[in-house]
Amino acid sequence: MKDRIQTTDATIRQAIRSRLAASHAGEDAVIVDELKVSLGSGRLDVAVINGRIDGYEIKSDRDTLDRLTRQSVMFGAVADRMTLVVGQRHLQRSLGMVPDWWSVLLSTTARDGSIRFKTIKRGRLNRSQDKIALIETLERDEIVAILAWANLDRGFQSANYKVLADRAAASMSRDQIALSVKKMLKIRSRLAFDFGDLAFGRSVIDCAVPSS
């Protein structure tokens, strides 16, 4: 135990992004860091956005679990699937802190410094996304755009954020909102990928683009 090398957020993040990029290569999917939820009060460490929002929350050996319960509620309102990527130090305690539908992936550091993953628990699809929570992953102009796609924007183009969010939630089904949000997040991500936009910095992986 004394010889075990502690995992860090940075090493896990790099390894999980590489793993996801390989598994989604060639797909219509984007991988982003720090996806804002709840108007920015929470952030998914890593997210894959394709037909679903697959979130990955990292808790390395050097992290704490202080925010995990609150994060599980916020992320559960948005993500279709969630995976906790956890260091050995926090494994046992964290298993009792995340909902049953979450997957749990153990992360350890080998002697050569490489990160290894082991599936501890396989989760399932989340059926409890919330309309407003999904909308709150978007910026104001993005909500106007999804209303326009649904022909619901007339008279609302200059409305404030809350009015726009309420308009979408009242007039669109959860499935319509979820589909529109994923479409918009892909557009935002690919703009960031192409132009280095500050929304996701330069960290976006566009899986549809062959790696160089």
Q: What is the pLDDT of residues 104-161, one digit of tens each?
A: 999 999 988 899 999 999 999 998 999 999 999 999 999 999 999 999 999 999 999 9
Q: What is the pLDDT of residue 40?
A: 85
Q: Which of 33, 18, 75 is nearest to 203 (CA)?
A: 33
Q: What is the DSSP letter of 89?
A: G
What CA–CA distance (Å, rounded) separates 109 from 29?
A: 28
Report pTM.
0.93
State how far the Cα of 54 lies from the Cα of 132, in Å rounded to an integer: 18
| pLDDT score, position 1 | 43
pLDDT digits (tens, 9 = 90+) for 39-72: 888 999 999 999 999 999 999 999 999 999 999 9
User: In the predicted model, is pLDDT for residue 81 greater than 80?
Assistant: yes
Mean pLDDT, the chain, whole residue set: 93
Give pLDDT, residue 194.
82
